[in-house]
Amino acid sequence: MEEIILKGVAAAPGIIFGYAFILDKQDFVIAPRTIMENEVPSEIARFLEAVIHAKDEIVDLKNKIDAQKRANETQIFDAHLMILEDRSLINDVEKRIRAEKLSAEYIFMEVIRDYLSKFANIDDEYLRERASDINDIGRRVLKNLVDEDRLHALDNVEEKLIIIGHDLSPSDTASMYNKNIIGFATDIGGKTSHTAIMAKSLGVPAVVGLKDATLRIRNQDYLIVDGERGMVVVNPKEETLSQYKSQQTKIQETRDRIQEIKDLPCETTDGKKIGLYANLELPEEMPAIISSGADGIGLYRTEFFYMNRMDLPSEDEQFEVYKNVVEQMKGGMVTIRTLDIGGDKFLSTLQIPIDMSPSLGWRGIQFCLRQPDIFKTQLRAILRASAFGNLRLMYPMISGVQELRQANALLEEAKLNLKEEGVAFDENMPVGVMIEIPAAALMADMLARETDFFSIGTNDLIQYTFAIDRVNEQTAQLYEPANPAILRLIRVTIEAAHKEGIKVSLCGEMSGELALAFILLGLEVDDLSMSSVSILQIKNMIRNVTYKKAKEVAHEAVSLATSEEVETITLNRLKTMAPDLFNAQH
């Protein structure tokens, strides 16, 4: 087979090799499962039994309808029986089970998809409509082959797979916390979409924005996912495979080498210390965060706790999860961001109208202030967890002082209610503001007087500054974290905070990139928060540079005209100071 190279956007670092599994939005999702030669007869027998069972179910339904004298409806079931008795369909499945040595349910699903594809392209309207009958039959047989709750679940994947999809919602990726999902790639998405963020949290290589990956990759194609350069190689040649395996080995050697600095202080060669924190999406990430040597959690994105469920999490449920995270950090600071839905994050439990422009729609603190019951439930849970460790809270998407005051008023109500109930919490729990809207950056001096700390969310700050959708691969080239406009907004925010004596953390994806983190150091940010996979690399950089030089470079960067100029100058300065950092780059 011919080697194909697809180019997209690098979303999560690393290189991985494996077989493709196309995750589409059809009614059923079955992952491939290999069977042994001696299992083939029993697998075919299992398939035939499922077909017989499906026939019996349809006959029972047909008899009930006949009894009610609804003759027109029985014709539907006659059509279903004809499909199940189609010898070519049965033979296709049996033949492919023997040839491919894969489970009956997976082969049957593939055959049904082929049939659906053929029917969709038929000109005759009557025959095209038979596709729905085939789909119904497919579901009925699959339900007899596997448990109903496994028709969608990816957490039951038994083989190591690379997921390929048109798009993966945050809830999709949140359900992928499974050691057998080793990487993924999507047609759409940008570098800071939540698909990319979740890939980093899962610790798997990922490429997004490939445009037509789902059309050019087939199930079980052998792939290389290059999360370093943003490429996917389909059916690689031996030479390509050999080159990538060599690169993968070098990357792992570099990761192993910098493990030595995990417990060393994060400070420059001239003594400037900076906090390095981890971003947390799912509690399952905690072992990886602890092993990274992070000082704590700089951003806990709690919205993922609300996804993949049919109800809202209760106060007690939230409290237990937050408390567990706080206790695992053993004194390390944990910063919980209150619920931030909107953009590419939504909650299926709430009947919220779909926004035409979700990034500009009802999201973040705006949503919480309009849903005070949901908001106060979370505030109470966070307050209760604050009694068990070093915890602080911050509000997302604050645009000005008025919203901050409204949010704090609800927080005070929650505190008062807990006091009346005799429930313990930290009376002095710090409360901060996320600076991720240009209006908030421009009002940073006012906001700094009424809050305990700032956390700059550059993913959204860049999006709103340049009027682009950061999830959209079409505008990926316009997403410029090194643009002097962004650096100036960050500088204004830090200066305003320091003038009022409060600290500033930065928790956007730019924290985890060497050159950008070097500039942020020079802009005098106090803490950086990032995916745990980036922490040691950034610590290694900080321990090899001077704070004095970082400030000089940052001062020069904000005076430049373009992001290209900023990146060129910064990389050149950094390579001169610490060439070993780039010798390890691939």
Write 367-375 long-range contacts (CB < 8 A, 24+). 367/339, 367/341, 367/342, 368/338, 368/339, 368/395, 368/407, 369/403, 369/406, 369/407, 369/410, 372/410, 374/312, 374/339, 375/338, 375/339, 375/407, 375/410
Catalytic pick from 152, 266, 507, 586? 507
What CA dihedral angle connects 564, 570, 575 and 581, to 10 degrees?
-100
Catalytic pick from 80, 194, 266, 368? 194
**Cβ contacts of 241 within 8 Å, gap of 6 or more:** 17, 224
- Cβ burial 545-580 (10 Å sphere, 16+ → b, else e): bebebbbebbebbbebeebeebbebbeebbbebbee
- Cβ burial 40-75 (10 Å sphere, 16+ → b, else e): beebbebbeebbeebbebbeeebeebeeeeeeeebe
* Residue 266 falls in the annotated catalytic set: no
* Residue 507 falls in the annotated catalytic set: yes
Please report where in the chains the tokens 């928790």 appear, as a residue: 507
- Within 10 angstroms of residue 519's Cβ, the number of other Cβ atoms is 28
396's tokens: 């997302």
- Within 10 angstroms of residue 6's Cβ, the number of other Cβ atoms is 19
**Cβ contacts of 526 within 8 Å, gap of 6 or more:** 274, 275, 503, 504, 505
Which of the residues are catalytic? 194, 507
